[in-house]
Amino acid sequence: MESQFTWMNGRLVPTAQATVPFLTNALHYGTAVFEGIRSYNTERGPAIFRLRDHIQRLVNSARVLGIKQLPFELDVLIDAAKETVRANHFTDCYVRPLIYLSSGGFNLNVDFASVGVGIAVWEWHQYMGPEALAKGIRANISSFTRHHVNVMMTKAKISGNYANSFLARTESMRLGFDEAIMLDPLGNVAECTGENLFLVRGGKIYTPNVNTVLEGITRDSLVTIAHDLGYEVIEMPLSRDQLYIADEVFVCGTAAEVIGLREIDFRTIGSGESGPITRHLQQVFHQVVRGQEPRYAEWLDAVNAPLMSQPASAVPAE
C-alpha cells in the first residue's frame, strides 16, 4: 500500500505534495538529520518501537549539526510520527523523520538557513529478506574507512555522513556481498553501513564501544536483552581477525533487526549459518518488538494512544 499522507512542517499533506524546492540547502550539502524508526503490529494495534529514544536522538543529531532552534517540541514530533502512521492506516511500517536546512545557508553557515521538518512513512516488512534472517548473510571488510570522530560526527545521523555508507555498501554489493563491515581510522572494527556489530566467542558477547560508532537503539536493546537472558556482554575494541575466528557474528539495526553473518571475506564464520546465540537474541527481539514480552512493554508506543503534546512552539536544540 502506498503512503497517502506525509507530515510536513506541522501538518499532514498528501504524500505527492510533500516536496521541496531544488534550492533546498540539504539537497546540496547533506545538511539534514534523520531517524529510521519502525512500527510493528502488536495485540494493541500498531506500536512504534522506542519512539521517544529515536526522536531524542533526532533532536541530539540536530544539536550536533549546530541547529540552535527547532520549530517543534520533542513531544510534538512524537505525536506527529504516530499521527502519520495512523493517517496511512499502516501497521508494519518504517517511519522516517527528517530535519533539514531548507532555504538559505549557501554561505555554509547553519545559522543562515531556515529549518524544515518532515515525517514520511512507508509500509515495510523485512530489509534483507527471509533467507538472510534464517541463514545469515555474507559481508566483506570495506576498502572505505568509517568516519574519524573529528571529521564527521558519528553520534549524529547526519544525512551527509551516509555518503560513506553508500560508498561502502555499493562496493560490497557489486563485489557480490550483502553488507560491508567498516573499520575505524585506527583499524578497529566500527560498524556496518547501517548496523552495529557483535561477535560471540566462548559463549560471551563482544561489541565495539560506542566511541566511533552510532549509538544504535537496537544495539542498546540487545545489550539489555542479552544481560536479562544471562549473557555477559563486553564492550571493547575488536580487530578484523577477531571476526574471522569468532563463533558467531551478527549485526543489528532498526532496518536489519538482528542478522547473522555466515561469511566474512570468504572465511566461514562458526558453523556457516546463524549461530545459537544469534538466533536466541533474534527470536527474543522479534517477540519484544511485537509486544509479546511484557518486560519490555514500555519500549512500545501504541499509535492509537492519546496524544501527548501541546500545540507546536519553538524549542532550542541546545
Out of 33, 153, 180, 217, the only residue in the binding site for ligand PLP (CB under 6 A) is 217
Site for ligand PLP in 58-77 (CB under 6 A): none
Out of 3, 254, 274, 282, the only residue in the binding site for ligand PLP (CB under 6 A) is 254
Residue found under cell 549473557: 231
Catalytic site residues? Answer: 157
Instruction: Provide the strand spans (E) within the chain.
Output: 5-8, 11-14, 32-34, 37-42, 45-49, 69-70, 93-104, 113-123, 137-141, 179-183, 189-192, 196-201, 204-207, 233-235, 248-253, 257-264, 267-268, 300-302, 315-316
Q: Minimum Å distance from CB 94 to ligand PLP?
A: 11
Q: Which is nearer to ligand PLP, 42 or 159 (CB)?
A: 159
Give the residue from 317, 310, 301 showing the smallest Cα distance to 85: 301
Q: Minimum Å distance from CB 192 to ligand PLP?
A: 7
Which of these segments, 98-106, 110-118, 211-219, 227-235, binds ligand PLP (CB under 6 A)?
Answer: 211-219
User: What is the C-alpha to C-alpha distance for residues 132 and 147, in angstroms, rounded to an integer?
Assistant: 27
Answer yes or no: are the C-beta atoms of 177 and 191 closer than 8 Å.
Answer: no
User: What is the C-alpha to C-alpha distance for residues 6 and 27, in angstroms, rounded to an integer?
Assistant: 19
Out of 97, 105, 216, 275, the only residue in the binding site for ligand PLP (CB under 6 A) is 216
Q: Does 208 bind ligand PLP (CB under 6 A)?
A: no
Number of residues in contact with ligand PLP under rule CB under 6 A: 12
Q: Which is nearer to ligand PLP, 47 or 113 (CB)?
A: 47
Q: Minimum Å distance from CB 221 to ligand PLP?
A: 8
268 bridge partner residues:
263
Instruction: Supply the DSSP symbol for 53.
Output: H
Q: Which is nearer to ligand PLP, 116 or 253 (CB)?
A: 253
Q: Which is nearer to ligand PLP, 93 or 113 (CB)?
A: 93
Site for ligand PLP in 129-168 (CB under 6 A): none
Q: Does 253 bind ligand PLP (CB under 6 A)?
A: yes
Q: Minimum Å distance from CB 140 to ligand PLP?
A: 17
User: What is the C-alpha to C-alpha distance for residues 262 and 280, in angstroms, rounded to an integer?
Assistant: 16
Task: For residue 303, count other CB atoms closer than 10 A to its CB.
Answer: 24
Binding mask 182-201 for ligand PLP (x = CB under 6 A): ---------x--xxx-----
Q: Which is nearer to ligand PLP, 99 or 214 (CB)?
A: 214
Helix ranges restricted to H, the chain: 25-29, 51-65, 74-87, 129-135, 162-174, 217-228, 240-244, 276-289
Judged by the rule CB under 6 A, the positions of this chain that interact with ligand PLP are: 36, 191, 194-196, 214, 216-219, 253-254
